[in-house]
Amino acid sequence: MFKGSMPALITPFQNGELDLDTLEKLVEWHIGEGSHGFVPVGTTGESPTLTHEEHEIVIDTVVKAAAGRVPVIAGAGSNNTVEAMRFVQFAQKAGADGALVVTPYYNKPTQRGLIAHFTALHDCADIPIIIYNIPGRSVVDMTPETMAELAKLPRIVGVKDATGDLARVCEQRLACGPDFVQLSGEDATAHGFNAQGGVGCISVTANVAPGLLAQMQNACTAGDYGTALAIQDKLMPLHNAIFTEPGLVGAKYAMSRLGLCSDEVRLPLTSLTDETKALLDAGLVHAGLM
C-alpha cells in the first residue's frame, strides 16, 4: 500500500503566503524523480504554523496535483482529538490515500489514552491511518504492545517510526504482524530500518534529493543492500547537515540552492546560520547535487 521514498513535503511560502504554484511544480518534479508518494502538512510542511484553512488547501493541492499517480498520506495529527478528527475527515474528503496521525504531544496521554485517541480517529472516517511515533517531539512513546492493540483495527495500517531504535522494527513486526506497514521517519537510519523489516521512509532529505532516495529505496526493495549503502554514503553528510538546525529549514535552504523554492520559513523558525549553510553546501556537493 505505502512504501518506498515518500517526501515529507515542505510547504513553500512567498512573502508570508502559500506558494501553491511552486507546490504544484514540486509535485511534478518529485514524480519525475521517482518518489513513491507524498506526505504533505506534517511537521516538515510547517503544520504547526499553518492555519486550518491553509492546512486543507495544501492537502487539496497536493492530492489534485498527484492525480492518483502516487499515493498521498495527508498529515492529520493534533493533540486535540476533535481537531484531529476534522483533519482525518478532510483527508478522506479531499481524496487522500491515507492520514498520518502523530501521537498527541505536550499533554502526554497514557498508553490507554493513545488507544482511545487513535480508536476515535479510526472510527470517524474510512481512510487508512499511519501512526506517527516520534517521542523526541511528542514526549510520549507508543509501545509495541499498544501498537499491536491498535493494529487489530482494520484501518490502522502502519507506523512512521522516528524513534531511531532499529530494534523496534523487529519488535513491532512480531507484535503487529508482517503486513503492518513500517516506514522510517529518520533519514540517517532508513537503510538499516529496511534491513530490519521496514518498507520505506517518510523522508525530509527526499525534498532535496528525491532521485537518490528513490534509488536507495528501490535497491532495498530488490534486496541490493550494497547499492543502497553506497547511496546512503553519498547522502549521509547531507542528512547530517539538514538536521543541524530544524530539518525543514535545512531542506528549504538546500532546495533554494537548487533553484526549487524560496528558503522562507515562518516564525518561530528562522533562517540558517552561515555555518549551517556551509555544511549544507558541502553536503550537496558530496551528494553530487551541486
Q: Which three cell numbers stand for residue 249?
A: 529549514
CATH number for position 13: 3.20.20.70
Q: Does position 152 have pLDDT exceeding 90, yes or no?
A: yes
| pTM, to two decimals | 0.97
pLDDT in tens, 168-189: 999 999 999 999 999 999 999 9
Q: Does position 23 have pLDDT exceeding 90, yes or no?
A: yes
pLDDT in tens, 189-229: 999 999 999 999 999 999 999 999 999 999 999 999 999 99
β-strand 181-184 against 4-7: which pairing, if any? unpaired
Distance between CA atoms of residues 55 and 58, nearest Å: 5
Q: Is residue 106 part of a domain?
A: yes
> Does the annotation count 3 as an active-site position?
no
Say which of 3, 160, 252, 277 is annotated catalytic. Answer: 160
| CB of 99 closer than 8 Å to CB of 59 | no
Q: Is residue 276 part of a domain?
A: no
Distance between CA atoms of residues 225 and 219, nearest Å: 6
> Does the annotation count 132 as an active-site position?
yes
| CB of 35 closer than 8 Å to CB of 67 | no
pLDDT given at position 1: 83
Residue 223 backbone phi and psi in degrees, to 5: 80, 15
Q: Is residue 85 part of a domain?
A: yes
For residue 110, what are the domain limits? Answer: 4-224
Distance between CA atoms of residues 15 and 228, nearest Å: 39
| CB of 262 closer than 8 Å to CB of 252 | yes
Q: Is residue 183 part of a domain?
A: yes
In the chain, what is the straight-line distance between the N-terminal and C-terminal CA atoms, in Å?
Answer: 34
Q: Is residue 196 part of a domain?
A: yes
Q: Is residue 282 part of a domain?
A: no
| CB of 259 closer than 8 Å to CB of 284 | no
Q: Is residue 278 part of a domain?
A: no
Average pLDDT, the chain: 97
pLDDT band with cut points at 50, 70 and 90 for residue 163:
very high
What's the structural domain count of the chain? 1
Q: Is residue 261 part of a domain?
A: no
In the beta sheet, which residues pair with residue 98?
A: 73
71 contact partners, CB below 8 Å, separation of at least 6: 1, 2, 6, 36, 37, 38, 97, 98
Say which of 25, 105, 106, 132 is annotated catalytic. Answer: 132
Distance between CA atoms of residues 191 and 198, nearest Å: 9
pLDDT given at position 215: 98
